[in-house]
């Protein structure tokens, strides 16, 4: 099987398509040993819309059996390649084009209407697909803290975040490491280093690709700010207990997309998958989730079952 990943070069989007491609590779190896697998990433970030409309891939590559994409700017190029080679095209998001143009849309539930269960064109997932999975053989030696910033749904209240981190560090018996995101205000790194000197701070600008995945694999527990829903799902995929650093919601009407994201997080809280800081403060314990998320594997199994021509 040959898969093309049509990429806009953004790490978040690549995490989704790579995670799905690698899950397909793993299931092929288990269920169809001997089936060859190759994956090629094609970066179309420099192309204009007209070039994407007639994009046929790169010369010298084998013919694809499946085209994957994520990111609105990849849609036209991915559909063009799939049309040229007469193979399925699947998108790992809610597309900006009509869903019927794709063979399958692997879409987070929080991007879909409430109660939507999926259909032949839409496969709902619990959060965005990622390539994170449990590493039981890796010693769990640290507490990982993932910090976001201002968002559509939540205000950034640095004092409140620092207060919560101070409480956690006061009882923690595990070394703590913290990283930021592109949305984190510039002053936070210095402020958290001063308020919580026991926390090792690694700003996002100093992290190499795969840094978060590496540290998730050895995390005894993970704390994530309430705005960072994608990181919450990555943390849950690692199998570690996940705590939520609380942030105040914005006042007034929320945009539909942001309110769905907030509802998705509230569902995780209500079913016990994650633990709010205020609940943790009562016992100083984050309950272990029932089982790690593995949405990439679930989507891969669905694809191999419902698109049998991929195996021919």
- At residue 63, the pLDDT reads 97
- At residue 199, the pLDDT reads 98
| Buried/exposed 91-119: b ≥16 CB within 10 Å, e otherwise | bbbbbeeeeebbbbbbbbbbbbeeeeeee
77 with 171, same domain? no
276 with 302, same domain? no
Q: Evaluate whether residue 93 is within a structural domain.
A: yes
Is a pLDDT exceeding 70 seen at residue 181?
Answer: yes
9 with 70, same domain? yes
- At residue 135, the pLDDT reads 92
pLDDT digits (tens, 9 = 90+) for 243-294: 999 999 887 655 545 567 777 888 888 888 999 999 999 999 999 877 888 9
275 with 166, same domain? yes
CA 209/CA 74 separation, integer angstroms: 21
Residue with tokens 């190896």: 29
- Strand stretches in 126-279, DSSP E: 142-146, 176-179, 199-202, 219-225, 242-245, 275-276
149 with 122, same domain? no
CA-based max dimension of the chain:
61
What secondary structure does DSSP assign to 204-243, as a single string? Answer: GGGPPTTHHHHHHHTEEEEEEETT-HHHHHHHHHHT--EE
Q: What is the mean pLDDT of residues 48-69?
A: 96
Structural domain harbouring 259: 142-283
7 with 112, same domain? yes
Q: What is the CATH number of the domain that holds 72?
A: 3.40.50
Q: Quick one: how far is CA 116 from the chain centroid?
A: 21
pLDDT digits (tens, 9 = 90+) for 195-245: 999 999 999 999 998 899 999 999 999 999 999 888 999 999 999 999 999
Q: What is the CATH number of the domain that holds 223?
A: 3.40.50.850
Say how many domains are in the chain.
2
- Classify 42 as helix, strand or coil: strand
Residues 6+ apart with CB under 8 A from 135: 217, 218, 238
Q: Evaluate whether residue 288 is within a structural domain.
A: no
């Amino acid at each position: 099987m040959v898969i093309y990943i049509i990429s806009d070069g953004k790490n978040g989007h690549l995490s989704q398509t790579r995670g799905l491609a690698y899950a397909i590779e793993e299931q092929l190896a288990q269920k169809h040993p001997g089936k060859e697998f190759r994956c090629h990433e094609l970066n179309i970030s420099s192309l204009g819309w007209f070039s994407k409309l007639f994009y046929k891939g790169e010369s010298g590559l084998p013919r694809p059996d499946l085209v994957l994409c994520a990111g609105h700017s990849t849609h036209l190029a991915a559909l063009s390649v799939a049309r040229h080679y007469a193979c399925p095209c699947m998108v790992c998001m809610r597309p900006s084009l009509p869903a019927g143009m794709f063979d399958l849309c692997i879409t987070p539930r929080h991007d879909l209407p409430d109660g939507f269960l999926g259909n032949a064109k839409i496969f709902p997932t619990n959060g965005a697909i990622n390539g994170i999975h449990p590493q039981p053989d890796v010693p769990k030696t640290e507490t990982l803290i993932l910090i976001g910033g201002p968002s559509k749904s939540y205000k950034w209240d640095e004092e409140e975040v620092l207060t919560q981190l101070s409480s956690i560090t006061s009882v923690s018996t595990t070394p703590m490491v913290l990283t930021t995101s592109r949305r984190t205000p510039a002053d936070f790194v210095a402020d958290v280093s001063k308020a919580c000197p026991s926390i090792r701070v690694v700003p996002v600008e100093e992290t190499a690709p795969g840094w978060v995945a590496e540290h998730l694999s050895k995390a005894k527990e993970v704390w994530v700010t309430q705005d960072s829903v994608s990181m919450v799902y990555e943390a849950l995929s690692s199998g570690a207990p996940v705590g939520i650093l609380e942030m105040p919601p914005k006042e007034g009407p929320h945009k539909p997309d942001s309110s769905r994201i907030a509802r998705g997080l509230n569902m995780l809280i209500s079913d016990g998958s994650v633990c709010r800081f205020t609940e943790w403060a009562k016992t100083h314990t984050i309950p272990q989730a029932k089982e790690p998320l593995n949405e990439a594997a679930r989507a891969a199994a669905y694809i191999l079952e419902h698109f049998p021509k991929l195996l021919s």
